[in-house]
Structure 1
């Protein structure tokens, strides 16, 4: 009996000391990538982890908030496909996803208040559908922009169909800016000439949305608090909010020191950086001591990062039909360049309102729609007062829909501020024109870890921008977090052998 007690005590001390020897890890950023990395480490007995999140919440660019009688997503909105999608795999058994409305058919309105011909809309929808899935080129257009490819296809496949129909061809000749708007919207770029026509992005044929629940639920699923809070991982005490990282001293000794804006200091064996590419671009010269290797800095510079905007609207009363869930806005030449009375910023004679691309009904919430905005006005739009935003949006809705609908007053609005928020500086990454390399994607270069002067791996990089086939997506972010956590786990397992 005594020998048995000694053996049990030995085992207890062995496992406790084994866990204590697990290296410490700091995760910068509490978004999808950071939380995924943390949960993977916790599940593999890495308990000495610290998550430093600059915002006052976790989730990063997943941001679901209460609005009206439901929940709206100010950040990530869609689950892209089902096959091989970690988000879908995590959520499917809970029946909380449903198909999204993505087609433009019979939903496009001209700026004179008429509905665009359904044949034209169908052709535009087919072309823009490929843009949505980032299917511009076929790996034979390297160095070409998405805008160049769309223009070529527009000229070669759409315009010739209507060359003998004078009424339609005139409108279609005005359609380049309409397609431009959707390229900038789907790729989060300022111009459709910024994004590469070629990429390794794996588009999804079906797009899903969340049923009367916010995207934030995926974070709860990751940390195991949904559907049963009693099974939640021991993670709360490891999350430190309002911790803006200011300096990472990574090659001074065996450990890494991370300093935050509130003068706190943290030390660890490894650091996983998951903050947005926009933040890395802005802080690459000041955040790291010593500076990052030139190859890593070049990867950051070569990677594209942009933004889109969203304004959620609650109307005083319902004015649309039950079967209407999307309105898209096609500006004609005679209305282009209009300066409306709502005031607000202008550039080159254009009002900010021309960058309002479409309006989509949010399912399960009474009288609530969302406006999507893209282009080069985002910083200015994010700082506009609510009354000017309301006035400008109301003007657009009355102009496009006033002849067919009795548009009621916008009661409340909620806008995104991703571009001006110093903790994000945008919404998602994209592949820059001229930067496509099939043998060494820029995302892969961005993901490569950095070793210190002794050759030991110290800095690891995760986030949607580091995934070469699923960049811009939440599933890409989650997979990247798992990837870097598993990298540490494998290193430790190898050293223990």
Structure 2
């Protein structure tokens, strides 16, 4: 034997060497990964990402991840639609918004930035004009325009100076505003004390719509300094196309946009997450109520604050860190519901923004004596607005415990009750026909939301917790983001808004993108 191999043996030897080298590289990679305790990098240099929720934050996160080269992205959505708390539905002559309705502001607002190139937004001019609101008392009398306008101007004046005057105030927003309100009326008595008190109660209820609180005595005055407004028109509607248009813009599916992102193909509907197990920081196991199991390197959770409050103790294994549990306890979320009535024709004056109902305590008592305590919820009606691009529709607003009570009533009871209130306040001036159809929201009753949008409470003051605490990811070795959190409640300054939710989706997608870019630099 010469020690050489013949030609026929060379190919077998080459296969053996190649196989040996391949196994050696694989073994080295496995050892390296165990030492680093990080997931393997898939083709394209990105890990497997699971997004919980196909609302504004979840869709935004998926879009940004796909743009940044992530391919292994899955969205688990509990319902059979995308949008979350954006919910556009067909009704009457056009569409209505059961959830978010307006784009608030222009400059620095990502929703406006997406829509502006296509001229998709317009001002809800009537709603911005205080003179177009009709105030009526519970005797059916129109409150003089001069009086209501002066009181509204006082309201807006106090509100406009919040940021400069509230910084050192310790207590609730209700305490702050009431003090300022009575102080201003003491210097300039616009109206009599009884009317002033009734109007303050109306402002209280209206502010509960804005803050999504049960009471402004629950809302932190100090916490309001965290919220930032976007300059520009605060009430921009979608010209009858609906807020759902925003998702086509995000996914580049709107006419004239660039190549569509394959986000819809990544969504699995009717997947209710029951547990997120991150005991192994390298392999997160997500279980759903239909007994499906998913494994991921990273999970972006965009569940609403209401869901986190109700379920975080069973949703996460192991339990969330103490600071997160305290933040979920401290931040709050309330209920704002809308009831839409379609009429056979428009019976209110052209250009009317809506009707504001001013109750006296005597009239409330008389109403309850006539119709019973079970109709107490009707005495909480205070604001009825017209609806853009819906000439035959009015929208009634309810908040807090009253809204939650209404959600559990039969449709027929709600329609009849709303009509009863219209008759009481408006039949002396207008011929109010019976409504043809009704549709309403039920955000608290829906277990996938348990409320509408977040606010800063006195409890968050007491615990000294803020959105940034909720936004902080849970990390593993080498600062690997394991569980990431998105959604409007995690935004420090734009909480309670759609544009805030979108920004948090982008933020968490960028966090993952930056993580992999930095890893690549160290390899």
Shift of 1:162: 2.5
Q: Name the structure 1 match of 2:329.
A: 301
Residue deviations 1:37-93 (CA, integer Å, cap 9, x gap): 000000011010010010110100000000012011000011110011000000011
Match of 1:63 among 76, 79, 87: 87
Distance 1:146 1:43 in 2: 42
Distance 1:385 1:130 in 2: 41
Contact 1:133 1:203 in 2 (8 A): no
Q: Name the structure 1 match of 2:403.
A: 378
Distance 1:206 1:159 in 2: 32
Structure 1 residues 343 and 259: CA distance shift in structure 2, 3 A: farther
Match of 1:112 among 129, 139, 152: 139
Shift of 1:343: 6.5
Match of 1:418 among 443, 460, 472: 443
Match of 1:181 among 195, 205, 211: 205
Match of 2:48 among 12, 24, 27: 24
Shift of 1:230: 8.1
Q: Does 1:201 align with 2:201?
A: no
Q: Name the structure 1 match of 2:270.
A: 242
Greater helix fraction, Structure 1 or Structure 2: 2
Distance 1:342 1:41 in 2: 56
Please say which structure displays the higher CA radius of gyration: 2
Contact 1:134 1:201 in 2 (8 A): no
Residue deviations 1:384-433 (CA, integer Å, cap 9, x gap): 11221112111211222122211111111001010110000000000002
Q: Normalised by the size of structure 2, how large is the TM-score?
A: 0.85
Match of 1:339 among 360, 368, 379: 368
Distance 1:31 1:132 in 2: 31
Q: Does 1:82 align with 2:106?
A: yes
Contact 2:335 2:404 in 1 (8 A): no
Secondary structure of 2:324's aligned partner: helix
Q: Name the structure 2 match of 1:496.
A: 520
Q: Name the structure 1 match of 2:433.
A: 408
Which stretch has the larger CA shift, 384-393 or 85-94? 384-393
Structure 1 residues 41 and 54: CA distance shift in structure 2, 3 A: same
Shift of 1:249: 0.5
Residue deviations 1:188-245 (CA, integer Å, cap 9, x gap): 1111101111221112452211211110110111011112488321122210110010
Distance 2:186 2:426 in 1: 26
Match of 2:457 among 410, 432, 437: 432
Distance 1:66 1:367 in 2: 14
Secondary structure of 2:136's aligned partner: strand
Contact 1:143 1:434 in 2 (8 A): no
Distance 1:132 1:71 in 2: 32
Q: Name the structure 2 match of 1:478.
A: 502
Structure 1 residues 156 and 131: CA distance shift in structure 2, 3 A: closer
Match of 1:225 among 253, 264, 287: 253
Secondary structure of 2:390's aligned partner: coil
Q: Name the structure 2 match of 1:392.
A: 417
Structure 1 residues 201 and 462: CA distance shift in structure 2, 3 A: same
Q: Name the structure 2 match of 1:360.
A: 385
Shift of 1:320: 1.0
Q: Name the structure 2 match of 1:7.
A: none
Distance 1:473 1:134 in 2: 21
Distance 1:206 1:464 in 2: 21
Distance 2:442 2:287 in 1: 26
Structure 1 residues 340 and 104: CA distance shift in structure 2, 3 A: farther
Aligned pairs, how many? 473
Secondary structure of 2:306's aligned partner: helix
Q: Does 1:145 align with 2:156?
A: no
Structure 1 residues 466 and 132: CA distance shift in structure 2, 3 A: farther
Secondary structure of 2:243's aligned partner: coil
Q: Name the structure 2 match of 1:123.
A: 150
Residue deviations 1:137-178 (CA, integer Å, cap 9, x gap): 734344311111121122111354227x6xx44322333321
Q: Does 1:269 align with 2:293?
A: no
Match of 1:315 among 322, 327, 343: 343
Structure 1 residues 137 and 244: CA distance shift in structure 2, 3 A: farther
What is the aligned-residue RMSD (CA, Å)? 2.3
Secondary structure of 1:366's aligned partner: strand
Structure 1 residues 137 and 223: CA distance shift in structure 2, 3 A: same
Q: Name the structure 1 match of 2:25.
A: none
Contact 1:195 1:430 in 2 (8 A): yes
- Structure 1 residue runs of 4 or more that deviate by more than 4 Å after TM superposition: 130-134, 340-344
